[in-house]
Amino acid sequence: MDSSSSEIAHDFFPMARLYKDGRLERLRGTATVPPSLDPETSVESKDVVFSTEPNLSARLYIPKSATLHSQKLPLLIYFHGGGFIIESAFSPTYHAHLNTLVAEANVIAVSVDYRLAPEHPLPAAYDDSWAALKWVAAHSDGNGPEDWLNRYADLQKVFLAGDSCGANIAHHMAVRVGKEENHGKPYVALDGIILVHPYFWGKDPIVEEASYVAFRSMIDALWRFSCPGSSGLDDPLINVCGDSSCLARLRCRRVLVCVAERDGFRQSGVEYCEKVRRSEWGGVVEMMESEGENHVFHLLDPTREAVGPLLKTIVDFISQDHDP
């Protein structure tokens, strides 16, 4: 047996391991569950295809209230995390999280399943996410291909959200909405974006990041692995704070950034808030911090006491009065 088949080139624990022969072993995020009528939240879900070339799907969620009242509900487009290499919109983790979030926030949700690296290196995930957003936009006149969106979703109140690399995607989609138009109008009426423990980084350490030697090394390797054509950690796809003019192009009224005290990405999230506030964007930035918690703790252990305040912050952000 070739010794390279068992020699580890990069250990992305707890997500995956890359072996010297190029094989990727995913350590988590490979299980899936079917859509359902969730008995605890009464949230109903189903899977839909939003692209045939390539073949891409999303999971749609509606709360029970959507079918009981004539008023349409805000739409949340969600991008899952996983370092661009693991997880899916159909995993038990995200299915449970979206059921809870949809019930608490009383929204319609589209959970996007994008292609993963290394089989599909970046920018595939960004391209797939943009395709999903354009598919949603096709329902703006109430005559799109998906009945749930036509009947229940308020396309004048749209939110983008995600955790970790999904938060990274949500940011870039909000910028792209500000750059690309559909017949002279934005593709979606984007009210706000919700970035939970965003996967932002940069070549130059920020404050305490300089001491995160092992973490920086892993992020550098992970980024180059998922985006082999990248210039490295100065790539604007991950170093989103490097270009203030890009931040100013966010096409939304409000931004919520959630950070965790013990998260290696915390400082980048804080800097993002500060630079967005100082940019020419002109919207409202909110930030909340979960003390004593680590990266995506709310997904790893939904029973933790700190999950409640985090979820409430997100729900309150969505529920704010839509009037300017």
Contact 97, 299 (CB under 8 A): yes
Which of 80, 97, 171, 295 is an active site residue?
295
263 flagged as catalytic? yes
Q: Give the active site residue among 263, 268, 279, 298.
A: 263
- Known active-site residue 322: no
Per DSSP, the chain holds a count of helices (H) and strands (E) of: 9, 13
Residue whose C-alpha is closest to residue 175's, from 150, 153, 200: 200
Cα–Cα dist 75/236, whole Å: 28
Within the chain, residue ranges assigned H as helices are 92-105, 124-137, 147-152, 165-179, 213-226, 244-247, 266-278, 297-300, 307-319
Query: Active site residue: 164, 230, 268, 290, which one?
Result: 164
In angstroms, the Cα distances linking 14 to 25, 29, 86, 213, 292 are 11, 10, 11, 17, 20
DSSP label at residue 82? S
DSSP one-letter string for 213-240 = HHHHHHHHHHHHHH-TTS--TT-TTT-G
Q: Active-site residue 295, yes or no? A: yes
DSSP result, 12-42: ETTTEEEETTS-EEE-SS-------B-TTT-
**Residues taking part in catalysis:** 164, 263, 295
